[in-house]
Structures are given as C-alpha cells and as structure tokens.
Amino acid sequence: MAGTPPTTDTQRTTDATFDEAIAAHDRAVREAGLEIWLGAEPTFTDPSSTDPGWLGAALGGGKHARALRLLRHRTGPGAAVLRTLGRQYPDEDAPRWSVGVYQRRDGTPSWEGPPDPALIDAPGVATPSAQRFRDALADALGARSFDLAPRPLALGGEPLESDPGPEESRLPWRCVEPAGGDALSLADPRLRRAPLQGRPVPPTGLRDAVAELGHRLYCVGLERGHVCLELPAVPRVDTFLELLMSVAAAARGAGLPALLLRGFPPPTDASVRFETLTPDPAVIEINTAPAVDVARIHEDKRAHPAAAEAEGHSARRHKLNGENTATGGGGHLTFGASEALASPFFTHRALLPRLLVYLNRHPSLSYFFSDQAGGSGQAPRADEGARELLRELGLALARLERSLDEPAAREGWAARLWETLAPFCADRFGNTHRAEVNLEKLYNPWMGGRGRLGVVELRALRQAPTAEHAAARAALFRALLARLAKAPYAESLREWGGELQDRFALPFFLRRDLEDVLEDLERAGFGLAPPLVHELRRDAHRALATLTLGPLELALRRAVEHPPLVGDLSEQGGTTRLVDASTGHLELTLHGPRGPLGHTRAAVILPGPDARAVEVPLVQVEDERERHVLVAGIRYRRFKPQPGLHPDVPVLAPLTLEVVAGSTPQDPGGAWRLALHGWIPGGGVYPGLPENDGAAAARRRARLEVSATPPAERHWEVAPRYARGRYVLDTRALL
C-alpha cells in the first residue's frame, strides 16, 4: 500500500513551447477573418489575512492603499493614472473606488505631467499651488475660472486614514469652463455639483449634465495635501488625450510635484488601453484592457502575479485544514471587438444563440473550471433556474434562427439580440450580473455607454492558479467562439434535469465532456496545441488523495458543489446570498487492471454501536486509456451551519470508507479502511494558516488515515432509493 499527496501542480511547459501554441491559436483565428478581442478579470487576495475585507467583504482591509501599491508595478512611462468611479451595487451607498492606468497602445505618451501621488513620495502643497494650477489650466483651455463655497473633497467608499486638515476643509472647489458656445451663468446649479466620489449614482446612471450642453467643467481641490483635479465626461479618445496634454502642461507650469486625477471614466477605443483595479468581495480585481489576441492577454497574465506577489497577494489561498481554494473572486473572460458594432456577436448573427446552446450541451464548460455551481451561485446556467424558462429560451432561439437572414442594420440586430436573450441570462432574482453568460454590456440601453460595448462576459470560471492556465482557458473559449462563428451547429437545447447535480458534479465525467469539446474544436479547424490542452486538463485543486491499494489505484477528488439558498428568498437582496455550504461532495474513483471490476466494492461506514456499512453505488466505465474504472459521488455533512438547512442532520466526521478489491466472489482480495477527517485527527487546533504549499500538503496528508484491514464479516446494506442516485450516495439521508 502506498499513498501520494495531491500534486502541487508546479511543473510547467516551457515558455517557448507554450508561446508557440498560443501563436498557433491566434493565427488560426486571424486567418479565419475573425476579430475576437478578449479581456480578463484576475483577482488577488491576501492569503494570510483574516480581515473581513480579505475573507468576504468588498471594502476594508486596507485594499485601497494596497491597490495603489500594486499600481506602481503596472504604471510605465507615459501612462496616466486615473482614479475614476467603480460600480455601485444595490446594497451600497456609493460607488466603489477604482484606480486605473490609461495609455496609448502604440507607445506614444498619453501623460507627461506630474505623477499620481501613489507613485512617488511627493511632498504636500499649500492652497496657492492649487490656485496657480487652476489659473494655468484656465489659460491653457481658454476657460473662465471661479470659486464656490467651501466644499472639501472626500475619498468615497474607503475611510480616510486621517481627517482632512483645516486648510483642506476651507479650500473651495476651483472650477473652470471652456469658452465658446452659449456660456453658462456662473450661478447655474449644474456648475455647483458636489464631488463625484462618495456620492451615490442616480438611478438614471452616471451623467455629466454640463458636458451634455457642450461645455466641460473641471474641479480643482486639495486631497491629503495633494492637488486633485476632477475631469469631465469626454466622449472621444482623441479629445481626451489632447485634454490630458493640456492638463499636464498646466501642472508642470504650476510646479506641482504630483497631481491626482479623478472624475468620469475615460473614453476608450482600439488605440488605448485602460486597466483598472477595483475592490470585490475578499479580493482586489484587475480589469485588464481588452486585447486583440491571447498572446497579449498572456503577457498581462504573467505580469499580474509577479506584481501581486511582490505586494503579498496571491491568486489562491489555503484553508486552515490545508485545502486549496481560489481567491474568492472569479477568472471571468470578456469577448468583444475593437468597437462595439464590430463585435463578433453582431457581425456573426448566429454566434450568441449557438453559444447558449453549446454551453447547455456541454456542462464541462460551466463546471470544470469552477468550484461552486448551481442556481444559487455567482454564474448560474440558463437551465438552472425555473424549468419553464428553458422551454421559453428554446422558443426565443428558434425565432432568432428564423431571423438570421432577414435584412437589418447591425444596430437593429444588436438591440434585438439583447432584448431577446437578456431575460434568460440572469439569476432567479432577475440579477443580470449573476449569470454564466453576462449580457450587461452587450447592447443594454439601461447602462448608458458602458452597456453598449458589444461585450459578452463568461463568469463560470474560478480564478486561474497560473498565468499559463488562464491563457489556456482564454484560448479554449475564444476557439469555441471562432468555431461557432464559422461552422454550423445544429444541436438544440437539452434538459439535463438532475444530471447536472449528479453526473456532472463529478470531475471524471466533466473531463470526458471536455475531451468531446476539444475534439469538436479540432474537427472544426480550431483545435488547440498539446501544451494548451495539457494545461486545461490540470485540476490539481480538486485532488485530496491518490493511493495505491493492492491492484487498485484510488483517487479522492472534490466534486462540484451546488449549495442551496437558505431562508426567505424575498429578504435576500443586494450583493450577497445566504447559502448552506455545509455539504461536502467527493468523487471516489477506483482504477484497476484491464478487465472487469465487478467484484470490487466500497462502503461508507456510519457511526454508531453497530457501525453500519452502506454500499456506495459504483458505476463502471472506461477511462481515456481504456482501463476500467469505478466512479461514485459521496455527499456528507461537513459542519453544522447556523442558520442552515436540515438542523437535525448530524455532522459525519470523519468520513470513513471501506474498499474491498476482489476479482471473484471467492477471492475477496485486500480490504482497506480510509478515514477522511475535516480537521486534525483526534482533535486539536491548527496554530494558524499554512505558511506555504508544503505545509498545506502536510495537513491534507495528516487528515487522511489509511489502514489495511481484513474483509469485514458484517452485512453491507443497500442504500434506500431516496439516498442514492445513479452516481451519488447522499449519506445525510442515512443518519
């Protein structure tokens, strides 16, 4: 008997080979005449912190200050740092903060003024410096300048480290308005608006009322001793870049050592990159600038972990018991094009309808790269809600199919596509942000400019553990879009029913389905090279143990969980949902020599005076090497949730299995007892979080006790029907 800990998954394909594989993918998409830009949202956490901001809260934990330190690694010469507004969620009083890097793609400087204070240790300045800058800016823009009543700036969404000083509190806003056109009266209330930071976004969305009149309003003040400029909304990139040059010149002329740029989000197009850092529950999220191909995304992906690691961040964290988990944020991917109406979802009308069907037919694309799934999760599939919605989605897709060849302007098709499909891409509460296929930014008239970007976001992706894995995923889904855009796909929606939570919760069947996807891409001419496929197959984060038991190879893996909602659903609004995550779900696989394994058996040993043994319903299939393998899922209660479902169901600790390897009834072979503990066997408290991968692996090994034992004489019970499906035994129904 021999045991090995779960792999740490540290061996990597050589950079050159991997880069060649990415180049081959990019070349195939380019030669097919497709424009499919993509973006990503890697997330990083502080794996050693137990502050709520790094465990589940969106704000706090010093995230703002740490994001500014991360910014130093992402800001090169000629790039502008912009502190704009992030998203505002329903249960939050103001938009979250957002800091970003704005730069030209061709390398030409977009900013030649003083740096953002976060990039240097700049000294503070006095009021006259702000006044000189205001006057210099007014001269550069041909504008009028004026003062308003005192109105201090405040940093919205993140507590100030210290209160503003008396001078900052007294300093009035300095506002300038470009001349030309119908001049506004300086008494116009639109010129007296409060700072954007710290204010809620109106229900109608973020709007610049002055800019809509053809004017631009600039607000100057001091924040923490540094001059701050609030920029107006500017619709065109070339105009915005010219504005930055004018602001930079005025700041240099005023002798400012640093300048903090705030205001409305900047315009973007194919000529510029705008990468932002924002807070999300338990993480800092980096919204990468859209890239023309996977090679550029991979370049960013390699840079992000290095910067994050330098500041004590990680793309994953260890639990106290040594299990690996992702950061808590997602590894979402976005797809579009250089311009909204050039989006592949508009230029290839059948693409989005085909994508929804393809994802429905291949659950691996929803679950293989995810830890938690289901209708209560962050990325529910369209078929995980009410059953009648799947029927209605089928009708919607059929009507779109009949309209594919009808003449229509691209704008008209974009609007119809969004109106038809958006209702089905939402969670059970109607939240369109929480969906496996997020269409919020496709052609949404309710989100202003941000809603009509021609972008589709895929959300059923955990944070990738490495840059290579993230790039391989990006290539997989981009190849899928290319395949669906260029080749027919005549399948229809399938109603999986309970198989999504039963069969496709198990990694074994998810991998087989993923192999079918890869073969389909190969047949369509968009197959991925071996280094990418090798990377995609890695799922070491699920591995709990791999053991050799006589002639058998046993593996325990974490299966996909579908935690249910708890409580009165009408009371659960905002950005959080109360779910019962107390149920563990494991996959047990037993590989044997060639030939049937019909006399190999496994049972769960239930606690009690009689130590009942309930047989696990093993299903025999063949693996990719044509070996026989037995597969089963086991669900059990890991802890007692408060509040939670089923208050009378006890915790099953440890989870004890008995495995008997036999080739015939007369030759029972060997027998082994496995006890998987949730925590330290025999009790005790861990001294703290694991310090590194090795310490985490040691805790995982210690939690699994394996011993050889004579075959038991006791009777093995057959689980009642209500406790078992074809692929799973639910031990909660047995206790």
What secondary structure does DSSP assign to 375-440, as a single string? TTSSS--TTSS-HHHHHHHHHHHHHHHHTTTS---HHHHHHHHHHHHGGGSS-TT--SSSSSEE-T
How much is the pLDDT for 151?
45
CATH of the domain at 390: 3.30.590
Q: Let me know if residue 11 belongs to a domain.
A: no
Whether the Cβ atoms of residue 234 and residue 192 lie closer than 8 Å to each other: no
CB 158 within 8 A of CB 202: no
Q: 591-637, pLDDT tens digit by residue? A: 876 655 767 889 999 988 777 899 999 998 876 655 688 999 999 99
236 and 302 in a single domain? The answer is no
Q: Nearest Cα to 114, choosing from 83, 80, 72?
A: 80
Together in a domain, 337 and 369: yes
pLDDT at 23 over 90: yes
Q: Is the CB of residue 195 less than 8 Å from the CB of residue 153?
A: yes
Residue with the two structure tokens 């300045």: 125
Q: Does residue 611 sit in the same domain as residue 685?
A: yes
pLDDT (0 to 100) of residue 150: 46
- Single pTM value for the model: 0.88
Q: How does strand 704-708 pair with strand 601-605?
A: unpaired
Look at residues 669, 663, 673 and name the one whose alpha carbon lies nearest to residue 709.
673
56 pLDDT above the threshold of 90:
no
| Overall number of domains in the chain | 3
In a domain, 499, yes or no: no
Domain limit, last residue, from 468, 492, 516:
492
Q: Are 689 and 47 in contact (CB under 8 A)?
A: yes
331 and 244 within one domain: no
562 and 439 in a common domain: no
C-beta separation of 216 from 178 below 8 A: yes
Contacts of 169 (CB under 8 A, 6+ apart): 150, 152
Q: What is the pLDDT of residues 317-364, one digit of tens each?
A: 888 888 877 776 678 999 999 999 999 999 999 999 999 999 999 999
For the ranges 17-26, 285-294, 616-625, the maximum mean pLDDT occurs at 17-26
What pLDDT does 367 receive?
93
Residue 12 has pLDDT above 60, yes or no: no
Tokens of 507: 């990694």
User: With contact defined as beta carbons under 8 Å apart, do 253 and 196 qualify?
Assistant: no
pLDDT of residue 157: 35
At 136-159, the pLDDT tens digits run 998 998 887 777 654 444 433 333
Which is more confident, 9 or 91? Answer: 91
Last residue within a domain, chosen from 263, 296, 319: 263
Residue at 589 is within a domain: yes
SS3 20: helix
pLDDT digits (tens, 9 = 90+) for 214-230: 888 888 888 888 899 99
**Residue 473 in tokens:** 């995923």
**Cα 96 to Cα 349: distance, rounded to the nearest angstrom:** 35
How many Cβ atoms are within 10 Å of 109's Cβ, its own excluded? 17
| pLDDT exceeds 60 at position 112 | yes
581 and 454 housed in the same domain: no
**Spatial contact of 397 and 356, defined as CB atoms under 8 Å apart:** yes
- Mean pLDDT for 161-167 is 38
CB-based contact 526:579 (threshold 8 Å): no
Q: Is the pLDDT of residue 57 over 70?
A: yes
Q: What are phi and psi of 395, to 5 degrees?
A: -65, -45
How far is the C-alpha of 427 from the C-alpha of 404, rounded, in Å? 27
Q: What is the largest CA-CA distance in the chain?
A: 99
Same domain membership, residue 121 and residue 234: yes
The pLDDT value given to residue 664:
54
**pLDDT at res. 190:** 82
User: Predicted confidence band at 259 (pLDDT cuts at 50, 70, 90)?
Assistant: very high
In a domain, 720, yes or no: yes
Percent of the chain exceeding pLDDT 70 equals 88
Evaluate if residue 665 carries a pLDDT over 80: no
- Point out which residues pair with 705 in neighbouring strands: 675
**Window from 188-192, 253-257, 701-705 with minimum mean pLDDT:** 188-192
Of 215, 245, 216, 220, the residue nearest 230 (C-alpha): 220
* 524 or 171: which leads in pLDDT: 524
What mean pLDDT value characterizes the chain?
A: 85
Q: Let me know whether 435 and 317 are in one domain.
A: yes
Specify the 3-state DSSP secondary structure of 489.
coil
Q: Looking at the structure, do residues 471 and 329 belong to the same domain, yes or no?
A: yes
pLDDT at 723 (0 to 100): 93
481 contacts: CB under 8 Å, gap ≥ 6: 36, 335, 344, 351, 355
Judgement on whether residues 46 and 180 belong to the same structural domain of the protein? no
27 belongs to a structural domain: yes
- 195 within a domain of the structure (yes/no): yes
* Residue % of the chain over a pLDDT of 90: 48
Residues 672, 588: Cα–Cα separation, whole Å = 14
User: Which of 234, 263, 292 is the last residue before a domain boundary?
Assistant: 263
Q: Is position 72 within any domain?
A: no
Rounded to 5 degrees, what angle do the CA atoms 110, 116, 121 make?
Answer: 140
**pLDDT tens-digit profile of 712-734?**
666 789 999 999 889 999 999 99
- pLDDT for position 576: 63
Task: Mark whether 308 and 358 lie in a shared domain.
Answer: yes
How large is the average pLDDT for residues 256-274? 92
Check if the beta carbon of residue 331 is closer than 8 Å to that of residue 462: yes
- Strands 143-150 and 601-605 come out as unpaired
DSSP letter, residue 461: -
Q: What is the mean pLDDT of residues 20-29?
A: 97
Domain containing 338 equals: 21-57+281-492
Residue 562 shares a structural domain with residue 681: yes
Q: Is residue 638 part of a domain?
A: yes
Residue 90 has pLDDT above 60, yes or no: yes
